[in-house]
């Protein structure tokens, strides 16, 4: 029990500690990007590495105050890089400050601990890149785990 509490406290500080500001976090205007977003359908805990199942929420936020952006791809991949699901059948437009979300159920462990999303967006005018995060949360046996991962643009 003490190991579990220590593990959860360590996870809390690991995932809530302030992160350094990376250049891609500065919201430099662009006309489009492909964003890699880490996600976890489960993590491992305890000495035996027992899987701890998580619900994943992918959040996409248009943080530009003036321009619409078009989301053209939202694909979900598993740990070995195999495409699991295409979340978009057609492009969607996000108005300024609008957001959307996609959920991967806690019961769906197909992504594994190395799951990820690729999100593509574009704009007719240079716009602030969207803020794209995955939020993972899970509860088991009176324990709860939650943390986020932020997307990074690919070159």
User: Domain containing 87 — which CATH number?
Assistant: 2.60.40
How many separate domains does the chain show?
A: 1
Give the pLDDT of residue 45: 83
What integer pLDDT is reported at residue 143 of this predicted model? 85
Phi, psi dihedrals of residue 102, rounded to the nearest 5°: -130, 140
CA 116/CA 126 separation, integer angstroms: 26
pTM of the entire structure? 0.82
**Percent of the chain surpassing pLDDT 70:** 83
Domain that residue 91 falls in: 2-153
């Amino acid at each position: 029990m003490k190991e579990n509490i220590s593990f959860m406290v360590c996870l809390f500080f690991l995932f809530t500690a302030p992160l350094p500001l990376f250049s891609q976090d500065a919201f430099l205007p662009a006309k489009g990007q492909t964003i890699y977003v880490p996600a976890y359908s489960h993590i491992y805990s305890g000495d035996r590495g027992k899987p701890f199942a998580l619900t994943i929420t992918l959040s996409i936020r248009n943080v530009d105050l003036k321009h619409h952006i078009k989301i053209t791809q939202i694909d979900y991949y598993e740990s070995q890089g195999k495409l699991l699901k295409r979340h978009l059948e057609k492009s969607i437009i996000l108005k300024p400050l609008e957001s959307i979300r996609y959920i991967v159920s806690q019961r769906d462990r197909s992504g594994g601990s190395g799951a990820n999303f690729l999100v593509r967006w574009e704009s007719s005018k240079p716009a602030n890149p969207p803020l794209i995060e995955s939020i993972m949360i899970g509860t088991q046996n009176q324990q709860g785990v939650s943390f986020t991962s932020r997307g990074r643009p690919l070159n």
